[in-house]
A = this chain, B = another copy of it.
Amino acid sequence: MNPAERKKQILRAVVEEYIHTAEPVGSAAIVRQYLTGVSSATIRNDMAELERTDYLFQPHTSAGRVPTQKGYRAYLDWLMERQRPKAEDMIELQNAILRGMPHWEKTIREVTETLAHLTGYAALSASPRLSKSKIKQIRLIRLDGMNLVLIVFADHDMVKHHHIRLEFPIDAALAEQVSHMLNREFANMRMEYIDEQSFVRMMCLFDANPELIAKVLRLIIKAIEEMTDVTVYLYGVSNLFTCPEFCDIERAKELYDFLDDTSKVQRLFMAAGEHGGTQIMIGSEIGIPELEDCSLVLARYLPERTVSGMIGLIGPSRMDYSRVTGLMDYLIKHLDRMICKTVNADDNQLILRGGGSFFRPLIRSDEIDG
């Protein structure tokens, strides 16, 4: 075997071995399990070289090697093969999808939970953000003078409802009138365009009872604004507590506090691209200090639609990328297929694509060959 190719194989061996054992990998272990027929001294020379070029790292003089972030990245971009999911994993994912149907928002939750369960990492997902969705219909239901329910029916059968409790009673006629106006003003409008200005515009349409109307409208506008917030689902956080990298309580707490903060997790999703396919960010690529030694795997479900959302995994950088990418690709493909059956694709044509993954190539291929 030529030296360049061998170095690749060594990097690959170190990454895979380290993923499974969480212990620094020595030259002997590689000879034993990955590259029989080569002397450990050769491996050592190559490893020293890989350390010089920053693919591997030695925690201390008499220890084996551990992949660096660059090492993981190279593994992902050039060395890894996607693993086709095991039959039972496919079945579990299929079942999760079916359990939620036809309410696919529930499907997302089921699938996220299953993903956490299958991988042993933390799984997270975000409901589609409705900002760019058009309102098809809006209803204000008056239960009694003090209690209203606002229902917004948007693109892709997205339905949001919100209970509004008033401090002063509203009569049926007025409520009916407001409901009418809302529909006339907001139908076919994108949800993100509903804001303080809409409030002012609406106010002009009424002349009687300005204080009451103002209060009601403010509550309605606020409710609609809240409806565009994405909901974050998080499962399997405690899986991370068993990873050796997070086994001390300080680190575990830090990680937990981050994940427990919905707004921070939302920002995670923001960082991801708009395109479909599985994206992987390693360590500092995520850009969040608390996740320095984590990897983030994210994919967009329904990537062709305005209502697409995200689903993903957080685990240690020492993540089983091969298995995880396989699972995610499989999942996304089937999610799209299933959801597409039930949802009225009324404004966008949905083109089913294969689950091709996207990795950012940060390292030139020749560097590792040289």
A4-12, A30-38, A235-243: which lies at the B interface? A235-243
Any chain B CB within 8 A of the CB of A208?
Answer: no
Any chain B CB within 8 A of the CB of A166?
Answer: yes
Q: A141-B139, A157-B146 are in contact. Are A165 and B103 (CB under 8 A)?
A: yes
* CB pair A141 B143 closer than 8 Å: no
Q: Which residues of B contact A342 (CB under 8 A)?
A: 165, 167
Q: A141-B151, A153-B143, A161-B161 are in contact. Are A260 and B238 (CB under 8 A)?
A: yes
Please, could you name 18 A-B residue pairs with CB atoms under 8 Å apart, sorted by A? A102-B166, A102-B167, A139-B143, A141-B141, A143-B151, A144-B153, A146-B344, A149-B151, A157-B165, A159-B163, A165-B342, A238-B257, A238-B260, A241-B256, A247-B249, A248-B249, A249-B249, A252-B252
* CB pair A260 B237 closer than 8 Å: yes
Any chain B CB within 8 A of the CB of A40?
Answer: no
In the complex, the count of this chain's copies comes to 2
Q: A257 to B247, alpha carbons, bound, how many Å? A: 15
Task: Please report which residues of chain A, range 328-348, place their CB below 8 angstroms from some CB of chain B when the two chains form the complex.
Answer: 342, 344
**Nearest B residue (CB) for A151:** B149
Any chain B CB within 8 A of the CB of A253?
Answer: yes
Any chain B CB within 8 A of the CB of A94?
Answer: no
Q: A249 to B166, alpha carbons, bound, how many Å? A: 47
A238 to chain B: closest CB distance in Å? 5
**Nearest B residue (CB) for A256:** B238
Any chain B CB within 8 A of the CB of A137?
Answer: yes
Q: Which residues of B contact A165 (CB under 8 A)?
A: 102-103, 157, 342
